[in-house]
Structure 1
Amino acid sequence: MKKNKTFFETCFWAGDSAENPFKAIDAFFAFAKLDYYKQILSEVVIYCYKPKVYKDDNPSDVFILYSVLKSFLRVCYCLQKKSKKRKVRASLRSETVFHLSSLTKEEYNNPFMVFQKAFELKSLEEFEMFLYQVLELSLSPYSIDSDSDLMTPYIYLIKMLDAAELLRERGVEKI
């Protein structure tokens, strides 16, 4: 039986194709810092509700953001499957640092839990559709009155960004 391999599509923005999810996370955070991703994602979601176009002077930035975050979602999907085979190294920092992130104490101690919860709630396709919809709406000159839930996937995407940063900082080892 052939294994289904998830392609992260990092070659569009990182310059090479990372097949290992941990190397893809390194490339993701080498491309930009955590604060940048959180800020841009928040701005994009806010612009969904404004009658203005986000980055109207250079909308290609939004396409690059879409490519990077779509790759990131695929990496997160892959990581939730690897949680049974790997564990995160213990934190070298004090436990009080976790209040700076969107994670609970349990999620801070086991960042893989974030990916599991996120993909139990929404499928990879639903997260990718959220990303597409948010970027489309932020580039529209009209404000929306959407029935779709944009906040739940947004919150989980922020949590996944924090969890991925923790994985990168602490490192991961096989069980």
Structure 2
Amino acid sequence: MKKNKISFETTFWAHQELENPFEVIDAFLGCESLSFFKQTLSEIVFYRSKDEIYQKECPGDVFFTYTALRSFLRACSALQHKSKKWKVTEVSVEKRSILSQASLTVEEYENPFVVFQNAFAEHSLADFEFFLCEIIHLSLRPTIVEFDSDLLTPYIHVIKMLDASQLLLESQVEKINQ
């Protein structure tokens, strides 16, 4: 049975359709820094419970961030299956620090693919896309709206996926010969 390939929908922000999840991650973290995406996501989550509109002066930036994060989540969904085919070579001792570990556990730091597996074991891609759409929607409303879904757990997973993706870029990733 042939697997259906998921489109990463990178055309909006990368100006081309990328088909490899590693290329998507590289382009995603190449268009803006890791700290930018973490800070922006944190601000969006913060504004979801305020009676102010996030980025009122330039809401187009929010749309750009939404499309890039959505592509990022789709690439992360594909990366959850890559741990059987790819491995991260050990990060050099001089690069290893508690600060570069960020939100990751020791196990996740040694194998960033675990982050993607854990996230998508707990939530589906549709759940993460709903989370992203919901926080964007709530942060762009001028009033506070009650919501009954868990927005904290997906947020934590996305932050961990951002850190794991940065680690993948900084590490050597090589294909396992089977």
Q: TM-score, normalising length from structure 1?
A: 0.96
- Asked whether 1:34 is paired with 2:38, we answer no
AA matched with 1:53: I
1:143 is displaced (CA, Å) by 1.4
Inter-partner Cα distance in structure 2 for 1:56 and 1:47: 11
How far off is 1:144 after superposition?
A: 2.9
Contact residue 137 and residue 144 of structure 1 kept, 8 A: yes
Quick check: 1:145 aligned with 2:146? yes
Counterpart in 2 of 1:172?
173
Letter paired with 1:38: K
CA contact (8 A) 1:10 1:18 kept: yes
Q: Which runs of 5+ in 2 are unaligned?
A: none
1:1-175 → structure 2 map (5 Å cutoff): 1-92=1-92, 93-98=94-99, 101-175=102-176
**C-alpha offsets along residues 79-138 of structure 1, whole Å, 9 cap, x if unaligned?**
001111110111013543356511011100000000000000000000000000000000
8 Å contact 1:98–1:105 — kept in the other structure? no
Deviating more after overlay: 68-77 vs 16-25: 16-25
Give the AA of the match of 1:37. F
5+ residue gaps, structure 1: none
**Structure 1 pair 8/55, CA: closer, same or farther in 2 (3 Å)?**
same
What's the TM-score once normalised by structure 2's chain length?
A: 0.94
User: Contact 1:10–1:68 at 8 Å: present in 2 too?
Assistant: yes
- 8 A contact 2:101–2:109 mirrored in 1: no
Checking the alignment, whether the CA contact within 8 Å between 2:89 and 2:173 is kept in structure 1 is yes
Identity score, percent:
53
Amino acid at match of 1:148: S
